[in-house]
Each structure stands twice: as structure tokens, then as C-alpha cells.
Amino acid sequence: MRDGRYARSTEKPRQRYRCYPDRDDRSVWHRFTPVLPREHVHAGEDRCDACEELRGTHRGDTTISRRHSWAVRVVADGLRDLARGATYADVSVRARDATERTRTRVTKQKQATKRNYWHTAADWVETFSPVLWAHTEAKFRAELAAAVAARAELEAFGAPNPTPIAIVIDDQPISAKALSVGRRRMGRPDWFVLVVAEILWDASSGDLHRRQRLRLVRGLPRNDHMAWKLVLDELGYTPDIVIADGDDSQLKAIRELWGSATTWIPSLFHVRSNVALALLDTPGTWTKDTDTASKDLLPELDDHLALLSRETITELDAGHWARWWNELEAIVVRVGAPLDKVANSRRQHEAVVANALPTVAKYPQLPLSTGGLEVAIRQRIAPVLSGRAHVFGNLERTNRLFDLVVCNDDGLFDKMPTVIDLLRSDSVANDGWSTPLREVTDPQPPTASRFVGRYSSLRDPLLIRDVARSRGLW
């Protein structure tokens, strides 16, 4: 039976219960609360907005854990909004307004201010994102383990594999400005978003179709080869094929991690763009549009460059590829332009594309550029960073937020009952307790420190080496 309320420091008190083990002896009893406490409900006063019925006195919202006063459904809605681009402050304010409460107890000595509301949503990400990410990542790993086992079985029988394990990688630099301690504008070092997407195959309709899903999104201080090794090592498997734009740091990480077991396919779009830029930097290969003041390649060069299409590249071999470059150089010489820029471009791209051509011919369904991943970055990741990239400072919390973005891309937040069940089940499995708050907060230097500004782990390049060393990657 109900036995009053407790936790009166919160604006919505929690319900306490009394148990009589022996119905005949009412002198023996004990008080208890459920593993996940419920908010106190006055009979007939609260109603469920979802079903428009009066809420029973034993049906108050369960809290997310014993360390939090927020209901499970409020936290689940907040995590969904954060994954789709809402700010920490907006989510925190909406939660406060919806529940008519503040993040902490409000007293006369300490009034809650709006500038501090963002900590509510940040705490949710820090504490509960790992729960949802563990579920999503376990699903990813199970699917890829099955693909790796199928690959090994085909190799054992010497049969071809029509559905290779392929990933697409790309990165995006984040440049930010911030106010220094002296309120003067100062530049911050860049940090980077490193993204990995997986290619999934579907042959259920008879024809082989592919789709792409986000697999890992990581914010790191640098995008050098050590940073890429950390991200790619986190996958836990060796892909057959990596599609990338050809950055030297990416290629070095691929070679050091997987060697010849993985084939690198350079993005055709970037190859074509780089050749076009080399031509536009060559005097005599272009004309200037008098209306727009833009450079246009000579028609014969533009037509030759157009041959680098998906349809033609899948039919080329190394000999045809070399002839394409010979013909390009012949056109440049014929128009009287110097060859140095084009020759440099040929040295950069001819060999790497020639190495990838057999794989491209073998798997014509593969994507030949990182364009699909760039679209996913604009649609899924950019909204999270828009207008506030400079305020992200904590590496661990930022990456836990990116984990929510991946969960959202996989469709987890389209099934909110599943999200609520995952959060509630995790707390129940730990007797109602969650991890302590502020465990990933960056330690700040003393006030009298000679260092200017705040320390940001997201902008500390030394951390990459430390983590790589702890994983045995350096």
C-alpha cells in the first residue's frame, strides 16, 4: 500500500510504499521503494496526455535512475532531440518547462539560471548515451561478424564473394573562434570529425542492391594517420575495400592496420576534381567567361575529362588508364600549354587508380566516391555542429553525442518504446543506480596558472598518442 511521500527536495515528490508480509499481523511491516522510484500521484489530479485517461495512483512516471529526478520518457525524448541536432540548452529548457521543475533544488540562497540549464542534457548524454550505443554497436558487430564468417567460408571453398565488406571514410575540419580570458577574440586549434560508413548489401529481390549506414563518428584533435588508426581499429574487423578521397594520412593508417588485406579505392570524384584543378592552374588550357569571370576548360579538355565517369571507369584496365593520361597530355601539348601541373597530377593519381581498377571491375556495384557519405555528414552530423562547433570542448562527451547521431541514423529513435525499455532495463539491472555524473569533465588548470583559457581535451593532440599507446597502436 502507499505510505506517503519522500524526497521532498524535488518539485515532484516520490512515492513510498508499506508492505505487510503477514496479513493477519498488522504490527509487522516495512517501508520500501521500487528499484526505479515513481513520482507521487494524487488520486484524480494527474492525467496521462497520451491516452487522455486519469492516471492511477500507482502509475506515476518512473525516474531514469536513483541519481536523477527526471522521468525515463523525458530523458528518452531529450536524447532523441539531441541526436537530431537540438542543443544542450534547448533540450534542458524544454525538459524543465514540460515537467515544471528545475535541474537542481532551488533555494533562496541559490537560484537556477538559464545559462546553467545546458548541464542537464549534457549529463544525460554522458550517462545514458553509452546504454543506447552498446545496444546499437552490439547489433552492428553481430551483423559484421556474420559477414566475416561468410567471407571465410567462401574463401575456404575458393568461391568468389559477391558482397565484399566495404567501408567509406571521410573527415571534416572544424574551425572555431572563441573568447579568451581577456574577452579578446582568439583562434582555437582545429579539431576534426572523422566518419566511417559501412556498405550493406541486399539481394532479397534477386538483384544486388547496396545502401550505406553510419558506423562511427569521432571527434578528435587531429586527422593524422594516428587518429585514423584509432578510429579504424575501433571497427574490430578487416574490411575488403575502403573508399576514401586519397588523403595520405588515411592511406598510411590503412596500410599500417591492414596491409595488403584491404584494397583502397580512391574517390573518383576527387580524382576528377584534382585533375580539373591542375588544368585550371595551367595557363592556356582555359578561357575566362566575361559575364561570370569564371574559368572554363577548353572544350576538348572538358570532353576528355568527362570520360572519367562511373560507366567508363568500371570498364578500364591499367593499359586503357595509361592511354587516357597519354591522350590528356597530348591535348595539353597541342594547345600549347605547359605539362608540369598535369604531370604532377598523373604521378599522384595514375598508379593508385590503376591498382584499384581490377577491384572496380570485379564489383561494379561499389560506390566510386565519398559523395554519399558527404551527404550523410550534411544531413546527420552538420545539424549537431551548426552554430556551436566552437563550444564543444570535452572529447569524451562529444563522442558520446556522436554515438547518439549514429543510433539515430540506424533508426533507433524511430522506436521510442525500445529506447525507453533499454534505459529502464539498464537501471533496473544495476539496482536502480546509474554511473556518477561529471566523470568525464576536463580538469582545469589553477586560476593562477600561466596557461591562458580553458583546457579542452577535444583540442589536445597529445591525447591521440596516449590513447594509441594504450591500445598498442603506437
Each residue's pLDDT tens digit in the chain (474 positions)?
666 666 655 556 666 767 777 777 777 776 666 666 666 555 544 444 544 444 444 555 777 877 777 888 999 999 999 999 999 989 988 888 877 665 444 444 444 555 567 888 999 999 999 999 999 999 999 999 999 999 999 999 999 888 999 999 999 998 865 545 555 545 555 799 999 999 999 877 777 889 999 999 999 999 999 999 999 999 999 999 999 987 889 999 999 999 999 999 999 989 999 999 999 999 999 998 777 778 899 999 999 999 988 888 888 899 999 999 999 999 999 999 999 999 999 999 999 899 999 999 999 889 999 999 999 999 999 999 988 888 898 999 999 999 999 999 999 999 999 999 999 899 888 888 887 777 788 887 776 555 556 788 998 999 999 999 999 998
- Closest to 37 (Cα-Cα) out of 399, 449, 432: 432
d(CA 247, CA 245): 6
| Residue 149 vs residues 161, 169, 203, 396: alpha-carbon distances, Å | 12, 23, 18, 33
Spatial separation of the C-alpha atoms in residues 428 and 409, rounded to whole Å = 27
Q: On the CB side of 248, how many CA atoms lie within 13 Å of its CA?
A: 1
Q: What value, to the nearest 5°, has the Cα angle with vertex 384 and ends 382 and 388? A: 100
Q: Which three cell numbers stand for residue 84?
A: 537530431
What phi and psi values does residue 215 have, to the nearest 5 degrees? -115, -45
The pLDDT of residue 109 is 41
Q: Which residues neighbour 291 within 8 Å (Cβ) at sequence distance 6 or greater?
A: none
Expressed in percent and rounded to 5, the helix, strand and coil fractions of the chain are 45, 15, 40
What's the alpha-carbon Rg for the chain, to the nearest Å? 29
* Burial readout 68-81 (b: 16 or more C-beta within 10 A, e: otherwise): bbbbbbbbbbbbbb
Q: What per-residue confidence (pLDDT) applies to 226?
A: 96
pTM metric for this prediction: 0.83
pLDDT score, position 280: 93
Q: How far apart are CA 199 and CA 460, in angstroms?
A: 32
For residue 185, give the amino acid letter.
R
Q: What pLDDT is attached to residue 100?
A: 66
What integer pLDDT is reported at residue 335 of this predicted model? Answer: 93
Neighbouring-strand partners of residue 458: none
Q: Output the furthest CA–CA distance in the chain (Å, rounded).
A: 108
